[in-house]
Amino acid sequence: MERRLTVIAGVAIVVAGTLLHFVYGWSGQNALAGLVSPVNESVWEHTKLLVVPVVVAGAVEAVLLHDVRRVAWATLVEAIVGALAIVTIFYTYTGALGTGPLLWADITSFVLVVAGGQWLYLRVLLSHQITVPPAAVSVPGLLALLVLYAIWTATPPDLPVFQPG
């Protein structure tokens, strides 16, 4: 069941992430919509396209699998590694090519990061060699991640990753 849910979640994350790209504009730039969707073209804001659907999918899977502890940890790992992968891939290809953002490269990297993230999620979820912390650690970790996104959306640090491109 876990494998099937992971495939379904991967497709849902790609679809939801794609739609989230437009939510802030569709909402008339509503501040609440900006908490879950990009408010500008910065690399950081675009990591929301992955992180928000991953957290939602994780919450649904935790309920369906009746395993909050393992699912929350796997979701936290996937969200953090995935966001870092998006940032790394973006700066690597723009630096290597000496270009600005390329839509085809961004879309391709997003789909690949989702696929890799779902693979990582499943490995963490099913591994009995990984020590999984209690849900009292990973659930607050997920909430802290979402709060961090809200704070850095409202008051982004003065770093290139937070600047619209």
The dihedral over CA atoms of 21, 53, 15, 157, expressed in degrees to the nearest 10, equals: 20
**Mean of pLDDT values over 122-149:** 94
Maximum distance among all Cα pairs of the chain, rounded to whole angstroms: 48
Q: Which residue is listed with tokens 């290809």?
A: 93
Give pLDDT, residue 130: 86
Supply the pTM of this predicted model. Answer: 0.94
CB 73, CB 133: distance < 8 Å: yes
What is the Cα–Cα distance from 72 to 67, expressed in whole angstroms?
8
What is the Cα–Cα distance from 72 to 43, expressed in whole angstroms?
25
Give the pLDDT confidence of 20-62 residue by residue, as tens digits: 999 999 999 999 999 999 999 999 999 999 999 999 999 999 9
Q: Is 164 left (phi over 0), alpha (psi -120 to 50) or beta?
A: beta
Tally of helices (H runs) and strands (E runs) in the chain: 7, 0
Give the pLDDT confidence of 96-124 residue by residue, as tens digits: 999 889 999 999 999 999 999 999 999 99
pLDDT at 128 over 90: no
Give the pLDDT confidence of 77-101 residue by residue, as tens digits: 999 999 999 999 999 999 999 988 9
Residue type, 155: T
pLDDT at 165 over 80: no
Give pLDDT, residue 6: 94
Residue positions counted in the chain: 165
